[in-house]
Amino acid sequence: MNLALQFLANGLVTGAFYALSALGLTLIFGLMRVVNFAHGEFFMLGGVLGWVATAVLGLDFATAFVLVVAAMGVLGWLVDRFMIERVRGHGEESTILLTIGLSIFLANATLYLAGPAPMKVPAPLTGKPLFLGPVVLTKSRLAAVAVSVVLVLGAYLVIHRTRIGRAMRATFQDAMAAKLSGIRTERIFAATFALGTMLAASAGMLLASIYSAQASVGGLVSLKAFVVVILGGMGSFPGAIAGGLILGLSEAFWGGYVSTGTVDIVGFVMVILILLFRPRGLFSLNAQRA
């Protein structure tokens, strides 16, 4: 029972990061219909830039986090305006090939500049671990999860309670009607891509403060983000959160009771079953709604 509670806690922590990362892909893939295979590289860059800002430049974690997330938002904006925009409307194949090429470029450029070694971002909080009955948690993990929850709530409020969020939802429901009503849809697409990139980068930096960042992790992160989005339902904001938690818990219990070496197969088996029996996801009544 004590082990089960520890696995539950570990799964919720990991699931929070999966959910935060997948929210960015939900906006880009689920709503914008951009199949972004570079999403994992944006996650990876968040961790690597966080390491540069903290371990190399000596900035404190909070300052580095704000600067890294802002910089990645700018990068996401530029990628959409100068790359994605040029192939938008020309079929998914063009976007897939473009983002695969971008993924390969970012991974190899990071590998060349930073090297293959893991890069650890100094944790924002240190000290003795906390004992909650039989469950052991570090302060750094709790702080990272708290930041993740704040970011998830902030993203939800942006999408559902702000003017730009209404413009986003209108654009994704009917881009032509939104343009005719005066919405600058090209700016909305770029802003949405930037927001998705920022969420991925923030998850990358937070996770690098617990584990480490590495140039080669982007591919696996992208695949797991797609797993979460498919589990929760295309375009479903609550579904991305639920899917992330489900994947995190499933991996924690599989790794604890079965095998840590095969934990990555759990999500892909779940996706196969979901696509066979509930192809629109577990929590999405309408794939067009966020």
DSSP secondary structure of 74-134: HHHHHHIIIIIHHHTTS-HHHHHHHHHHHHHHHHHHHHHHH-SS-BPPPPS--SSPEEETT
HSE toward the beta carbon, residue 108, CA cutoff 13 A? 6
Average pLDDT over residues 162-184: 86
Residue 195 has pLDDT above 80, yes or no: yes
156: number of Cβ within 10 Å: 16
Tens digit of each residue's pLDDT (9 = 90 or more) over 212-254: 999 999 998 998 999 998 888 877 788 888 999 999 999 999 9
Per-residue DSSP letter, 262: T
Residues in CB range of 205: below 8 A, 6 or more apart: 46, 47, 49, 50, 64, 65, 68, 69, 121, 213
Domain ranges of the chain: 15-217
Confidence of residue 1 (pLDDT cuts 50, 70, 90): low
Paired with 135 in beta bridges are 132
Rg (CA), the chain: 19
Q: Please give the structure tokens belonging to residue 103.
A: 């993924």
Helix axes 163-173, 185-208, angle to 10 degrees: 110
Q: What per-residue confidence (pLDDT) applies to 288?
A: 42
Task: Please give the helix or strand (H or E) that residue 136 lies within, else none.
Answer: strand 135-137
Tens digit of each residue's pLDDT (9 = 90 or more) over 84-116: 999 887 878 889 999 999 999 999 999 999 999
Q: How far is 214 from 48, CA to CA, in rounded Å?
A: 7
Q: How far is 205 from 14, CA to CA, in rounded Å?
A: 14
